[in-house]
Chains A and B, each alone.
Chain A
């Protein structure tokens, strides 16, 4: 059972199909975690593992993050999608060792808007990948990180 789950996780494409079909196990059965996407060391690798190698740029995705963050350990990021039928919102930090930071499934009835705080290794573009109506869209925003305690 465990082995079959592992191979399912490895086969990211199959997983994406299953999720698209609405077959999502509940927490009691063990949660899905996209190992391949989280392990991706470049933005390109992570996007490919998420099934979104060629997401279209969109002005309907808003990223709220500081232009300059003094502390890279706690960077507040809020993402809002204005695209109809938004299904998921994914947050990536291009220059982190593993760019994929967090992915949120947005069920019907939940607002396509999430806020969290992430760690950033250095100044980088932050990407918001949104799946809406079965298609992927992306937006980005640059966040500068001040290293050390004497920034200001």
Chain B
């Protein structure tokens, strides 16, 4: 199981700013290990963020997203004290869901 995401969410003047740091190798599939064998690609392909059941961002990623991915975006209409739920899924089917409260 992957490590939890670090999610910071702050509301100001009706705009909710979401910053997410995920823990993932984001292996490109082009790197060779010390024995010269190709390291298979292992990367997050899909990210979805929801607020009260409404999708506020969805993303498709390739191998070029940097290791331990960072993502920042903002949406309107979120209230302090409510939660945003973030889920990622990688190319091996591993998933991770975390949530954070809007402050």
Interface positions of A (Cβ within 8 A of B) = 24, 27, 31-34, 38, 73-76, 78, 93, 96-98, 100-107, 109-111, 113-120
A115 to B71, CA, bound (A): 6
Q: How far is the CB of B26 from chain A (nearest CB, A)?
A: 8
Q: Which residues of B contact A100 (CB under 8 A)?
A: 62, 64
Q: Which of A32, A102, A109 contacts B56 (CB 8 A)?
A: A109
Whether B76 and A116, one on each chain, are in contact in the complex, defined by CB atoms closer than 8 angstroms, is no
Whether B72 and A98, one on each chain, are in contact in the complex, defined by CB atoms closer than 8 angstroms, is no
Known: A111-B73, A116-B70. 12 other contacts (CB 8 A): A27-B48, A33-B60, A78-B72, A97-B30, A98-B62, A102-B59, A103-B61, A110-B76, A111-B75, A116-B66, A118-B66, A120-B64
Whether A74 and B66, one on each chain, are in contact in the complex, defined by CB atoms closer than 8 angstroms, is yes
A24 to B28, CA, bound (A): 27
With known contacts A27-B89, A110-B74, A114-B71, A102–B45 Cβ distance under 8 A: no
Q: Which residues of B contact A101 (CB under 8 A)?
A: 61-62, 64-65
Q: How far is the CB of B90 from chain A (nearest CB, A)?
A: 11
Whether B73 and A102, one on each chain, are in contact in the complex, defined by CB atoms closer than 8 angstroms, is no
* CB closest residue in chain A, given B53: A26
A24 to B57, CA, bound (A): 13
Interface size class of B (residues with CB under 8 A): 20 to 34
* CB closest residue in chain B, given A116: B71
Q: How far is the CB of B45 from chain A (nearest CB, A)?
A: 5
Q: How far is the CB of B37 from chain A (nearest CB, A)?
A: 18
B38 within 8 A of A: no
Whether A104 and B70, one on each chain, are in contact in the complex, defined by CB atoms closer than 8 angstroms, is no
Q: Which residues of B contact A31 (CB under 8 A)?
A: 45-46, 48, 58, 60, 89
With known contacts A74-B66, A119-B28, A110–B60 Cβ distance under 8 A: no
Whether B59 and A103, one on each chain, are in contact in the complex, defined by CB atoms closer than 8 angstroms, is yes
Within 8 A of A (CB), among B38-96: 45-46, 48, 54-67, 69-77, 87, 89
A119 to B67, CA, bound (A): 8
